[in-house]
Chain A
Amino acid sequence: MARYDRAITVFSPDGHLFQVEYALEAVRKGNAVVGIRGIDIVVLAVEKKSTPKLQDSRSVRKIARLDTHIALACAGLKADARVLINRARIECQSHRLTVEDPVTVEYITRYIAGLQQKYTQSGGVRPFGLSTLIVGFDPYTEKPALYQTDPSGTFSAWKANATGRNSNSMREYLEKNYKETSGKETIKLAIRALLEVVESGGKNIEIAVMTQKDGLRELEESEIDEYVAEIEAEKAAAEAAKKGAAKET
């Protein structure tokens, strides 16, 4: 199959676009990202790989704001992400200019996915090596939304999803434990899912929360530490309860 993976516009005999699949590999090597849609809140949680001591951590924000009501986190090639995010931001403003209305989450997701698809069907370019999780609130219905796009250019809406490193185990956890929640419960669910694959602690996790009223808010490290402590305590309590029950039987 090696002969069919040089140019992305070439199909292999069994119908694969190898360049797109290799791009998905790049995503699988990227940092873990979790997105959860609650009743009136959306949460994005991203793994923060250890920052070098001399690096200014404020310049490597992993969660990007596309507009006042839409945020994006991605896993994969960060440089590609920067380009895609810039194009999406311009499109958000251009839409506001031409129809005097903010974009819906679905619209901007469709735009980003369309861009990613375009680069799988052109000569001389390679696909964007990233999958994105896009969250936001619909400006008309005020309902929260979570969408995912991938290097092939497909997109779909999710109640909760994960991408990047070990996304399968995170998704399994979410499938087992997802409930429609709001407020703190949603945040804790996101952290719990991320902690399945990430070292515990506020300095390894970056979290952003968006509500209809207050827009996007990044949580402070101390806040995250508090949540993590709560979760650990809950876990310990659950373990103790299990052990206690086992002893009794």
Chain B
Amino acid sequence: MMKLDMSALETQFGAPAGEDGGLLFDVDGAAMPAMEFPNCRDFDRFQATTKDMVKNKRGTTTLAFIFDKGVIVAADSRASMGGYISSQTVRKIIEINPYMLGTMAGGAADCQFWHRNLGTKCRLHELANKRRISVTGASKLLANILYSYRGMGLSIGTMIAGWDEKGPGLYYVDSEGARLKGNRFSVGSGSLYAYGILDEGYRFKMSVEEAGELARRAIYHATFRDGASGGCVSVYHVGPDGWKKLSGDDVGELHFQYYPIQKTPVEQEMTDASTS
């Protein structure tokens, strides 16, 4: 009988039974490298606080709103790990399928994986039922999955936007299990600033360009005030024929578009003085 290779079953953590009194995992057999637990009075609270520190505070700004010509979806592109900016070029608007978009806020890996998974499920629904899944259905599929993982540490705050037979659809879905239908949403640490611009400038009847510009401005202002948002603003429009990317602008350049540099009188005096 050949010796079976059990190395894949070995876990990295775990105290053999009997050590330390309370045991977290009941492991037997393979010899584990014992991990020393830190010296603290309340180990469970220590675990919770550590998890909390690492927990993503959803450093981002995303927004979406419905208007008479469809749905506008916009997001920034900065990823941060605490005070460190890990990337300025993250794609936070995920293309689930040619007529549905999802936004990313929270854990990047969680969002990317579950949106891809949702895309798979939507495609299977299409193949089985010979019709596209509705935005309602897609958001419900995602919400049910996230609810079943509730409490296990997923961090996802997403908006599902699309155009189906009932017209434009927009849902907010998060890892706590909430699922809300609405006309305007903004998610992330910069959402407060984005809401300010968005709520003020929003009208149901707008042209696609006006709506795109409103979204761009709202995200820009969020990146101006919120340290965890920045990079570029991507703006998408979802219409009856599917989504289309309207623009992608660097916020630094946008700033000088909105607020061009004014030449001050003092500078002019200085140049006169040097030539005389």
Q: B-contacting residues of A (Cβ < 8 Å)? A: 98-101, 104, 106-107, 110, 140
The 6 A-B residue pairs whose C-beta atoms are closest, nearest first, are A99-B137, A100-B136, A100-B140, A99-B140, A98-B140, A107-B129
> Main SS of the interface on chain B?
helix
- Whether A140 pairs with B131 at a CB distance below 8 angstroms is yes
Nearest Cβ on chain B to A6's Cβ, whole angstroms = 35
B residues within 8 A CB of A140?
A: 131, 165
Give per-residue flags for B123-134: 1 if the beta carbon is below 8 A from chain A beta carbons, else 0: 000001111011
Can you offer 23 A-B residue contacts whose CB atoms are under 8 A? A98-B137, A98-B140, A98-B141, A98-B144, A99-B133, A99-B134, A99-B136, A99-B137, A99-B140, A99-B141, A100-B136, A100-B137, A100-B140, A101-B134, A101-B136, A101-B137, A104-B129, A106-B129, A106-B130, A107-B129, A110-B128, A140-B131, A140-B165
B residues within 8 A CB of A104?
A: 129
B residues within 8 A CB of A98?
A: 137, 140-141, 144
Nearest Cβ on chain A to B125's Cβ, whole angstroms = 8
**In the complex, residue of chain A having the shortest beta-carbon distance to the beta carbon of B136:** A100
Given contacts A98-B140, A98-B141, A99-B141, 6 further A-B contacts (CB under 8 A): A99-B133, A99-B140, A100-B134, A100-B136, A100-B140, A101-B137
Alpha-carbon distance A107/B137, docked complex (angstroms): 15
Nearest Cβ on chain A to B143's Cβ, whole angstroms = 10
A residues within 8 A CB of B165?
A: 140
Alpha-carbon distance A185/B133, docked complex (angstroms): 37
**In the complex, residue of chain A having the shortest beta-carbon distance to the beta carbon of B131:** A140
Nearest Cβ on chain A to B129's Cβ, whole angstroms = 6
Alpha-carbon distance A151/B183, docked complex (angstroms): 48
B residues within 8 A CB of A99?
A: 133-134, 136-137, 140-141
Alpha-carbon distance A106/B141, docked complex (angstroms): 21
Alpha-carbon distance A100/B129, docked complex (angstroms): 15
B residues within 8 A CB of A110?
A: 128
B residues within 8 A CB of A101?
A: 134, 136-137
